[in-house]
Amino acid sequence: MDFSLSEEQEMFRRAVRDFCQKELKPYAAEVDRTGELRWDAIRKMPSLGLTGLQVPEEYGGADLDSVSTAIAIEEIGRVCGSTGLSIAAHNGLCCWPIVKWGTDEQKSRWLPRLTSGDALGSLALTEPNAGSDLRGVRTTARRDGDEWVINGQKAWITNPRYAPVIIVFCRTDPEGGKHGFSMIVVEPDREGVTLHPPEKKMGVRGSPTQMITFDNVRVPVDNLLGEEGRGLYQTLETLDGGRIGIGALSVGLAQAALEETVRYARERKAFGRPIADFQAIQWMVADVATGIEAARLLVYQAAWLKDAGKPYTRQAAQAKLLASEVAERAAYVAIQVHGSYGYSQEYPVERIYRDQRLMAIGEGTSEIQRLVIARRVFKELQ
């Protein structure tokens, strides 16, 4: 067994880290405060492949493996949770399904714009009354000649204001049960699409989250992505990969919290010495560092399994579950070690605390991850 990253993966991490230190980290507080991503940085991302991590090169992507993809998301998350979420969603939830199920014509139509650095894509699953329960989705797509007619509402969608295309999870056969859903690509400039104002959120404030209404929106039949009736299965597969991304983002946020904790503990003095000298502080640091190591290994293992073509549903859910809980603990410890200063917006740990909170909710709550894991465990141990 070999746990080391390849030379290319190490080099890629260094390049992404340098980029993030220069282009994202100094602006992270501003992104959070203004609720706007830093487009000057995103426009430069294609040179590193960050806007098309797993997209083939002929469509402007970097065609990277899943471990490198996780490394990229981790590094972005380490400096800016908002940018990390938008880039993770763009790559994992929008580009990836198009690469996986798109026809050559669809890939040529949509991917070059998505990888250009001028846009970010979306996947719209959640509705005001259906999140965890995807089969409760009510948005419909009805066939009318050469078109789909879409009606319904999606909620909590990442990136739609920057998206040239939104993949919409629709009910295409009301009687079809789990075979009654499909993925349909909608360009948001079509008549009948309304993007609502961005949600006012606790964290990841720079990443836009919006409700979308579809009112008799017509798209050509060839905007169907993948197979009609296979939308639920395609979505679950997409979410498996997306969970590696959220796991990686959580590891990045946790790592940032740990680094801030250690830096502050060395500087801050109490009772005549740096608080880093106190065992109570050292134990918290030790536990967080151990959690991060375990979470990172689970994330990389899930990514490695995905690349090896082996089943990874359970491992992706475990990686996301553990990494999000580790990030929560790391952010808690960071604030605790900073004392009152941790509670202030002057220090980044306050933002990290708010940003990481999403990780146990988005792309499947921790409760849903536990359901996925338990289902697999009971099956595997029959």
In the chain, which residue ranges form alpha helices assigned H by DSSP?
7-19, 28-34, 39-42, 66-79, 81-88, 96-101, 104-114, 231-267, 279-307, 313-338, 348-356, 366-380
Kindly name the residue from 23, 74, 328, 363 that is annotated as catalytic: 363
Q: Does 364 bind ligand FAD (CB under 6 A)?
A: yes
CA distance 158 to 126: 11
Question: If DSSP codes are grouped into helix, strand and coil, which group holds residue 209?
Answer: strand
286 vs 374, beta carbon nearer ligand FAD: 374
Burial of 216 (0-12, 13-18, 19+ CB in 10 A): exposed
Please state the closest distance from residue 155 (CB atom) to ligand FAD, in A.
7
Please state the closest distance from residue 61 (CB atom) to ligand FAD, in A.
20
Q: Site map for ligand FAD, 103-142, x if CB under 6 A?
A: -------------------xxxxx----xxx---------
Contact at 8 Å (CB) between 132 and 107? no
> Among residues 31, 76, 168, 204, which is the contact residue for ligand FAD, using CB under 6 A?
204
74 catalytic, yes or no? no
Footprint on residues 54-113 left by ligand FAD (CB under 6 A): 89
Please state the closest distance from residue 162 (CB atom) to ligand FAD, in A.
12
Q: Which two tokens stand for residue 205?
A: 């404030």
Please state the closest distance from residue 151 (CB atom) to ligand FAD, in A.
17
Question: If DSSP codes are grouped into helix, strand and coil, which group holds residue 219?
Answer: strand
CA-nearest of 21, 37, 15, 19 to 89 is 37
CA distance 176 to 3: 45
Footprint on residues 157-196 left by ligand FAD (CB under 6 A): 157-158
* One-letter identity of residue 363: E
H-helix or E-strand spanning residue 220: strand 209-220
Q: Does 367 bind ligand FAD (CB under 6 A)?
A: yes
> Which residue stretch of 100-108, 316-324, 346-354, 358-366 sits at the interface with ligand FAD (rule: CB under 6 A)?
358-366
Question: Among all chains, which residue has been given the structure tokens 């689970």?
Answer: 298
Q: What residue is closest to ligand FAD based on CB? A: 131
Please state the closest distance from residue 300 (CB atom) to ligand FAD, in A.
24
| Contact footprint for ligand FAD (CB under 6 A) | 89, 122-126, 131-133, 156-158, 201, 204, 209, 358, 361-365, 367-368, 371
Q: Which residues are catalytic?
A: 363
